[in-house]
Amino acid sequence: MSYTRTVEQRAYDHLYDPVYTTPETGLYRQANNPVRAAAEPGNDVSGTARHKYFKQPLVPHLHAVAPEVLLAPTAKQDPLAPPAMEDEPLTKAVGVQTKYRDSEAQTNPYTPQFVVKEDQEEPEVMMLDGLGEGSLPAGAKEVTMIERAREKRALEASLPPITDEASLTLRKRLMEQQELREYNLREKEFDNMREKRLTVLRKAIDERDASNEFLAEQRVEALRQRKMEQRDKALTNIQNRRIKALRKLSKARKDVPTVGALGSRKNRDIIGEYADFSSKVYAPIRRDGKSQDAGGDKFDVLSKTAPMDSLENIAKMEATIPSKLTKTAIRKPQKQQQQTKTAADRKNLALTADLQLMDTIINTSGGEEEMQNVTVSATAMTSAAGTSPGWRAKTKKVERPATPVVPEVDEEAENEHMALILLQRLMRGRAVQNTMFEGKERRIELIKELRASEGVEQGDPGVLTQPERKERVHDAAIDTIAGETTSALFDFLGKELVRKEEKDKLQAMAAAAEKERIKREVEEGGKRQAEELLRSREDEAYRQITRMHHAAATTFVSDLMAQALEKVVAELVMKFAKGEAGGEVVGGEVEETAKELVGSFLKSGAEGIADVAKEGETDARILDAAQATVDQVMKDVTVNSTL
């Protein structure tokens, strides 16, 4: 059973149909991948080293801080320190929950619009509080105007009628009083309005003055900032010049010629040079023009010794070395004996030696007995431990030692002891003084010599008076100014001298180079002139010889052709006379004979001319190469002389 099915789309309609739409954006897009890859830019860097291009370079930053400036250390916070406790304020702003609120949100506490005293009635104008039409609700000004209008209406209602003269007079007086009150009120309103306007005007003037003052302060601040920037720039330039000058001074100090060096004006220290094995006496500098001393080959060790490339040569060299150079003998320093000058000193020295000997004997004997006792006790403990187990051994109870008692010190004995200590200190100090005095007496001549060389000790100059101090300050200032001026002048003169010497050297080099160039030009000019004269002579000789050879060859060929022609003519005449020769044969033979004769004579001449031309071309090439070489040498000499 067969059936048919309608397919709504093909497999790749979404790729090739230009109007196909689908809700999916990333489904089966193989055909667009090449185009999309070509449209999207790729990475600038790829490969294993791409991770190196994700960091920002570290740009160095130089702080223009002078090397002599020492910045104060910044205070660092200790991370282990506890936080500081803040004091609790005495007053706080705390919100209060009230029962007056419109919703569940917190509202302000209820406050009435107005408060009326207990002894007063509520004014009737407050009944207009809920109205809001036109100028309502009324304010304080409207309330005052309403009260005045009521008073005026009440007054007008209470005026007496115009019936008689007394009522008219009273009415007139009341109305005048009312007008006067209204006039005063009006003046008061004018005064209030004027005060308000004046207040507004004062406020505006104050604001204007404040703004002007603010602008002036801004201008002053901007000017101050500019001046500060100029000052900072000037200080920076001064600092840079100072650092530059300090560097120049340090460099100049380093470049100061040493004693005995080339160009030094100081006297030569011969003893110091021979004492220093690294000086120029032992190791001269080649650029100074000095050579090694005569007999310097004695320092060449490699030429006098066998090469150290084998074990036999090394053993032979070690055999020739003296034993005192390979062995070190250390001698124990001897104890310096105390010098004795008197019999008492010798007696004390002998007594001290005896006491030290007895002390040594006593210490040695006591140590041996103690060692024997320790050995015996250790042996007994070892034997006891070997015969019985440890848990059966009886242990002695440790008895508490007796409490030590400090003997009472007698004050007199203590005083005597302290007196003896003081006496010993005095005696020891006196002994040290005597030793120092003996040493001084023994070296008195040397001390006098040193004092004589250093000069007599100077005493206290004392306090200078005011005129002397001023004179010294004046002299010091003059010496300072003169020294600065003189040093600057000497510096300038020294630089000028160096510049002049360099200029003279350069001029001398240029003059020598110019003289050498002129000399070489003259020599080359003479050589060139001689060569040209010789060449012209050779050319003229060649032309004369060629002309002579050409004339000789022409004459020879003419004579030869005439002879051949005569011979041929004679033969032809003889043939004609005999009636044997024909016309065509005779003409062909004559022409062929003439060609052979001319060719035999011209071939040798053409070959000679070709050889001469070839030799001339070879000579011309050699001459051109020599001329180019000479021109290049002259150009190099000219450039070197100019430099």
240 with 286, same domain: the answer is: no
Give CA angle at 559 (554, 563), nearest 5°. Answer: 150
Highest-scoring range by mean pLDDT, 261-270, 438-447, 600-609: 438-447
158 against 289, higher pLDDT? 158
Task: Quickly state the pLDDT bin for 597 (edges 50, 70, 90).
Answer: low
Is 347 inside any structural domain? no
Lowest mean pLDDT among 318-322, 513-517, 558-562, 587-591: 587-591
- In this prediction, residue 586 carries a pLDDT of 47
Over range 570-596, report the average pLDDT: 65
Lowest mean pLDDT among 240-249, 322-331, 440-449, 459-468: 459-468
193 with 301, same domain: the answer is: no
536 with 582, same domain: the answer is: yes
Tens of pLDDT, residue by residue over 145-172, are: 878 888 888 888 888 888 888 888 888 8
CA distance 337 to 345: 12
Task: Quickly state the pLDDT bin for 356 (edges 50, 70, 90).
Answer: confident
The Cβ-side half-sphere exposure at 94, using a 13 Å CA radius, reads 6
Task: Quickly state the pLDDT bin for 386 (edges 50, 70, 90).
Answer: very low
pLDDT score of 291 more than 80: no
Over range 13-26, report the average pLDDT: 61
Q: Tokens in use for 62? A: 């130089």
Dihedral through CA 352, CA 353, CA 355, CA 361, nearest 10?
160
92 against 382, higher pLDDT? 92
434 against 81, higher pLDDT? 434
pLDDT score of 336 more than 70: no
**How distant, in Å, are the alpha carbons of 4, 143, 215 from that of 228?**
97, 63, 19
Is 286 inside any structural domain? yes
- In this prediction, residue 213 carries a pLDDT of 92
**Count of structural domains, the chain:** 3
522 with 578, same domain: the answer is: yes
Residues in the chain: 643
Q: Which amino acid, one-letter code, is at 582?
A: G
Is 577 inside any structural domain? yes
Task: Quickly state the pLDDT bin for 135 (edges 50, 70, 90).
Answer: low
210 with 274, same domain: the answer is: no
Query: Looking up tokens 């100059």, which residue turns up?
Result: 461
- In this prediction, residue 558 carries a pLDDT of 81
Is 298 inside any structural domain? yes
To which H or E segment does residue 387 belong?
helix 343-387
**How distant, in Å, are the alpha carbons of 65, 69, 237, 288, 478 from that of 247?**
15, 16, 15, 28, 28
238 with 294, same domain: the answer is: no
531 with 604, same domain: the answer is: yes
Is 8 inside any structural domain? no
Q: What letter does residue 40 receive in the DSSP assignment?
A: S
- In this prediction, residue 141 carries a pLDDT of 77
CA distance 50 to 45: 6
CA distance 521 to 534: 20
- In this prediction, residue 381 carries a pLDDT of 43
Task: Quickly state the pLDDT bin for 585 (edges 50, 70, 90).
Answer: very low
Three-state secondary structure call for residue 593:
helix
164 with 194, same domain: the answer is: yes
Query: Looking up tokens 């007999």, which residue turns up?
Result: 295
- In this prediction, residue 604 carries a pLDDT of 64
- In this prediction, residue 383 carries a pLDDT of 42
pLDDT score of 101 more than 70: no
Highest-scoring range by mean pLDDT, 185-199, 452-466, 615-629: 185-199
pLDDT score of 180 more than 80: yes
Contact 137, 128 (CB under 8 A): yes
185 with 301, same domain: the answer is: no
Task: Quickly state the pLDDT bin for 194 (edges 50, 70, 90).
Answer: very high
pLDDT score of 201 more than 90: yes
Is 274 inside any structural domain? yes
Q: Which amino acid, one-letter code, is at 488?
A: A
CA distance 175 to 172: 5
CA distance 305 to 301: 6
Over range 32-58, report the average pLDDT: 63
Is 563 inside any structural domain? yes
176 with 293, same domain: the answer is: no
pLDDT score of 538 more than 70: yes
558 with 638, same domain: the answer is: yes
Lowest mean pLDDT among 19-23, 315-319, 590-594: 19-23
| pLDDT averaged over every residue in the chain | 75
Q: Quote the percentage of the chain above a pLDDT of 70.
A: 67
pLDDT score of 572 more than 50: yes
74 against 438, higher pLDDT? 438
- In this prediction, residue 486 carries a pLDDT of 85
162 against 189, higher pLDDT? 189
Is 567 inside any structural domain? yes
Query: Looking up tokens 């024909």, which residue turns up?
Result: 582
189 with 310, same domain: the answer is: no
Task: Name the pTM for this structure.
Answer: 0.23
Q: Which amino acid, one-letter code, is at 404?
A: P
Task: Give φ, ψ of 447 to 5 degrees.
Answer: -65, -45
Q: Range of 194's domain?
A: 159-254
- Which residue, 320, 348, 378, sits at the end of a domain? 320
Over range 513-530, report the average pLDDT: 89
- In this prediction, residue 34 carries a pLDDT of 56
- Which residue, 220, 254, 288, sits at the end of a domain? 254
Lowest mean pLDDT among 255-264, 319-328, 529-538: 255-264
**How distant, in Å, are the alpha carbons of 8, 24, 31 from that of 28?**
18, 9, 8
pLDDT score of 17 more than 60: yes
Taking phi over 0 as left and psi of -120 to 50 as alpha, with beta for the rest, 520 belongs to alpha
CA distance 626 to 632: 10
